[in-house]
Amino acid sequence: MRKLLFVLFFLLGFAGAGDWFSDPIRGIEYAKKEQKPVMFYFHSEHCPYCLQMETFVFSDEKVSKYLDKFVVVSLSMDSQVGRAWARRFNIFGTPTFVFYDPKKDTVMSVVFGSRSKEDFIKLLLMACEMSSTKKC
């Protein structure tokens, strides 16, 4: 029951918060079409720092405005797909954020750990500056 409530909260909390995908291939294809960078968000069910990011940072209106410049691919390390993509990027802990430029097919930055709203916005701005996409 707790897991179901968490999933519902997670999905409802981000409704209208930009372009979020759980399928990495579809997310990358969409990012190419929309000319946006990708932020892969690696999380796990029992990660208190992930919950902190989801509850206090991602849900913030100002942060959401900056996240709208990205296509976010949310990957659970509890899933087979999430673990496969984590191996691809050498991710071992959560939360981890991988900023990816779909135009150049390159990883711009990998960041581990939770952040305050202000620091997360700075991180998003830095990723936008590094991106070759047009809509950042």
Tell whether 12 is covered by a domain: no
Tell whether 35 is covered by a domain: yes
Enter the pTM of the model. 0.86
Range(s) of the domain holding residue 59: 17-130
Tell whether 68 is covered by a domain: yes
- How far is Cα 103 from Cα 45, in angstroms, rounded to an integer? 32
Q: pLDDT tens across 19-40, in order?
A: 899 999 999 999 999 999 999 9
Q: Which two tokens stand for residue 117?
A: 């709203």
Of residues 69 and 8, more confidence is placed in 69
Tell whether 98 is covered by a domain: yes
- How far is Cα 58 from Cα 52, in angstroms, rounded to an integer? 9
Neighbours of 41 (CB within 10 A): 21
How many domains are contained in the chain? Answer: 1
Tell whether 62 is covered by a domain: yes
Judged against a pLDDT cut of 60, whether residue 10 lies above it is answered with: no
Tell whether 8 is covered by a domain: no
Q: What is the CATH number of the domain that holds 83?
A: 3.40.30.10
- How far is Cα 98 from Cα 127, in angstroms, rounded to an integer? 10
Q: pLDDT tens across 42-75, in order?
A: 999 999 999 999 999 999 999 999 999 999 999 9
Tell whether 9 is covered by a domain: no
